[in-house]
Structure 1
């Protein structure tokens, strides 16, 4: 819990992720885990030595802008976490998208003897970090998981018409047993990696945050722990490489700021946006509609 609250209290808006990256490098050093950083700021961590590795990724940026000393994250009734802005005397987002994913990555690095994790910058700006990530890092991965999905039950195996993984991978994951179901999702880093030729199965998983990109954002702690139990199961169950060839891109997709600005979006707008993408609407028209 202490680490999670620390993550929530580190401001990391897109393009200004240095405080979060410093924290992660310090944590990895404390755990004795080797890491390196590329020119964009992406971090790559490797624990143990093996022919193949399970891999979990997260993005380090958030859409919220907090000022040190005027913001705090709080646990409510041992069940949920909210943010509060002292200056404006109101709730504010906690950046659980994707600090919950960062927390799961660090838990995996602690709990497993062999693991790879990547931490990407500027996902909210159009997956800038993963768009330029070192793909060689994933050449010996069995699969790649990301925990960057709202709610508590989506096992995203398809994004914008692109399949992310094999049927065998889905079957072995046993999602219903852990309270998850296959779903179609929106753009995030694993989708960008797949577009760039990631040759193994990947998926995005609901990790217990709700109303992302708004001042009402919150985390249900049990749902976050549920996500980790599911990730832990997948890591244990998949001991071999899940080879999966990426499909051709079907729906190009902009980042959060490109489409919506910092004001956020409603769920109705989000669903309407996906529908128009699938009907062939151009990116230019979408930006005009939503900004």
Structure 2
């Protein structure tokens, strides 16, 4: 719990993730886990030595940009976490998208003897980090999981028409037992990795945050723990490489800031963008196309 609140209290807007990266490097050093950073700023961590590795990834940036010295994350009744700006006396976003995913990565690195993790920069700004990531890092991975989905029940197996994993991989996950179901989702790093040729199954998983990209964002702790239980199960159950061939590249789907700017978008505008993409596009859609 303490680590989770610490993550929420570190401001890391897209392009300004250095405080979060410093914290992660310190945590990895404390755990005795080797890591390296690429030119994009992405952080790669490896624990143990093995022929193949389970891999979990997260992004370190957040949408929220405006914070004062009186901001803080608060646990309510041991059940949920909210952000509160004491100076302006209002709730505010906590960056649970995707600090919940970071928390799960760190838990995996603590709990398993063999593990790979990547912490991507600027996901909210068009998945810039994963677009420039070192794909060779994933050459010995069994699968790649990302916990970057709102809610508590979606196991994203398809994004913008692109299949992310095999049916066998989904079956091995035993989703009903953990309260999950296959679903289609929005752009995040595993989608970009798959479009770039990731040859193994991947998925994006609901991890207990709600109303992301708004000042009303909050986390339900039980739903976060539920996500981690599913991730643990997949790591334990999947000891072999889940081979899955990517589909041919096409026009990439833009990120939050890239398409709409800091002002954001309405749900209606976003759905128009998704329909534009599914119907085929010759260029990246822009906000002006949908308003």
TM range (shorter): over 0.9
The answer (yes or no) to whether the contact 2:164–2:194 under 8 Å persists in 1 is: yes
Shift of 1:270: 2.8
168-177 or 96-105, which deviates more:
168-177
- 2:277 is matched with which residue? 277
In the TM superposition, structure 1's runs of 4+ consecutive aligned residues that sit over 6 Å from their partners are: none
Mapping of residues 67-216 of structure 1, within 5 Å: 67=67, 69-216=69-216
268-277 or 18-27, which deviates more:
268-277
Residue 25 of structure 2 aligns to a residue in which SS? helix
Shift of 1:261: 1.8
- 1:262 is matched with which residue? 262
Number of equivalent positions: 291
Q: Distance in 2 between matches of 1:267 and 1:229?
A: 30
Shift of 1:248: 1.6
Residue 125 of structure 1 aligns to a residue in which SS? coil
- 1:218 is matched with which residue? 218
- Normalising by structure 1, we get a TM-score of 0.96
- 1:7 is matched with which residue? 7
The answer (yes or no) to whether the contact 1:160–1:251 under 8 Å persists in 2 is: no
Shift of 1:89: 1.9
- 2:61 is matched with which residue? 61
Shift of 1:260: 2.1
The answer (yes or no) to whether the contact 1:162–1:248 under 8 Å persists in 2 is: no
Shift of 1:171: 0.8
CA RMSD, 1 decimal: 1.5
The answer (yes or no) to whether the contact 1:45–1:116 under 8 Å persists in 2 is: yes
Q: Mind listing any 5+ residue stretches in structure 2 that lack a counterpart?
A: none
Q: Mind listing any 5+ residue stretches in structure 1 that lack a counterpart?
A: none
- Normalising by structure 2, we get a TM-score of 0.96
